Every structure is written in structure tokens, then in C-alpha cells.
Structure 1
């Protein structure tokens, strides 16, 4: 089971689903996040480059609590 996490700073190293308006837009490993939890970066994977995700644009981060370090 996955849950929405509002404190993105604790997601570094976790695999997350990034959702917007209820739809999953990308899944990936959190490479870095700001201390204020407004922005996170997904690590590059395959053809997907490193991606900045901005909470102010309506994005949500979902992960299982067991995946967090």
C-alpha cells in the first residue's frame, strides 16, 4: 500500500510515484529534495533525464512507508 507524503525531504532514496490530479505521471528514485519539501528531483533512469518536481504545480509524491529510509 502506498500513501501520499507531504514531507518530501524524507523521501530521498525512496522510489515514489509522482501524481498530478490523481494520475501517475512518473515513477522514480528521489535523488534530492529541498528542506522545505517544495521541490524534489527524480534520478535519471533509462531514457528519462533527471527531473525536477515542483509541489506548487499540483504534484504529489506517493510511496510506501516501508520504502523510506
Structure 2
């Protein structure tokens, strides 16, 4: 079975055409994942979407309980 982290990555790729939807799904994911997964997701997000959504990523990851 695929991990929650892999599922989240799939969802984010599918909604990446829409900034608001992307941010909504990212916020939801950050509440579901554990610390190690959040750190992995952060690195992946900046690598994949850093150019397009840097402001969104900065805002979402700044508010996480694990930075």
C-alpha cells in the first residue's frame, strides 16, 4: 500500500494547476502527516513547485508545528 506521503504528493501534482486548491490540499496534508513526512514533503514541494508557488509554500510551511 502506498504511504500517506506518496498519496499527498499525487494529490498536489493533480491540483497544481490551481493555486487556491493547491494551498488547500497542502494545508490539509500538513495536518495529517507526521514530523518526518512533513520534512520530506517540504523538500519535495520546494523542488517540484518552488518556482511556481514559493509564496504559498513559505506561508504553509512557516505555520507547521515542525519546521
Fold in common (TM above 0.5) = no
Higher relative contact order (CA 8 A, sep 6+): 1
**So what's the TM-score if we normalise by structure 2?**
0.27
Structure with higher strand content = 1
Bigger proportion of residues as helix: 2
